[in-house]
Copies of this chain bind each other. A is one copy, B any other.
């Protein structure tokens, strides 16, 4: 399926192709034979699991700005490879954050994606190291030294990802989350926490794709960024809804955990009905942002479909 999607755009086929590309790259990109089983713990954390929302956002955004992600061409087009590498890099950051989040000193969770969490399977010390090494590997993925990707693209992508992952992004949001257990937050404070904790990496995903062929014009970059911010917030609202309405088997992780931990959520703040309305409004807002980007409607079909999937997901 080529880029600049036509009216017959088939989301299922598109995502299946893209997911296969991501899985293949990740499998080859994490050496199982690394020292003292560390590579095995990293592969356990990353492979064969998760919705891969962030990689799909990277790739859909890249295709929206005209990068060709046809399977056959990925290896010989620099911008395609830059998008695929970034897709996998952001997934490594996401995976490391889950490994560390699940540890006893954080959420102390034993189940993730239907499997024992990394520290249950490999021990706490190995889980700590595997998370650390996954973060380093993300930046390794972004900086191939084989001439395949422009240095300006590499530098821009590292700049985006390091800021989104760090203390003024994801890690900062987690710190707010830690500090907020049992404390009543306003909707504005809750939004700020999620803007950092999950929103920063989702925004970064779209931006990583958008810059993979060089920085696009401001209208495109800002439109895609606005899209990602609405989607990021919708993602969290739906997460809070599912924590209440879904069971652990469907979620692949422990349901009802936020309520049990007395964590502030959109549902506890707004009630279930208004939280569902908010998710729908954010979905509509994300689609308006795509229009405002000035990109062809056809080119943004995958992004729009991903936003729909975020709002309508069951896990």
Beta-carbon contact of B158 and A139 below 8 Å: yes
Closest chain B residue to A105 by CB distance? B124
A162 with B175, Cβ < 8 A, contacts A38-B167, A133-B167 known: no
Q: Determine the distance from Cα of A98 to Cα of B227 in the docked complex, in whole angstroms.
A: 39
A128 with B154, Cβ < 8 A, contacts A137-B162, A162-B137, A162-B143 known: no
A31 within 8 A of B: yes
Count of chain copies: 2
- Give the interface SS of chain A, mostly helix, strand, loop or mixed: helix
Q: Determine the distance from Cα of A150 to Cα of B151 in the docked complex, in whole angstroms.
A: 9
Beta-carbon contact of B137 and A135 below 8 Å: no
State which of B42, B128, B156, B172 has its C-beta within 8 Å of the C-beta of A133: B172
Top-7 shortest CB links A-B: A136-B166, A105-B124, A139-B162, A36-B175, A35-B172, A133-B167, A133-B171
- Knowing that A131-B132, A132-B171 touch, tell me 16 more A-B residue pairs with CB under 8 angstroms: A34-B168, A34-B175, A35-B172, A38-B171, A104-B105, A105-B128, A128-B128, A129-B171, A138-B162, A139-B161, A143-B158, A145-B156, A151-B152, A151-B154, A151-B155, A158-B158
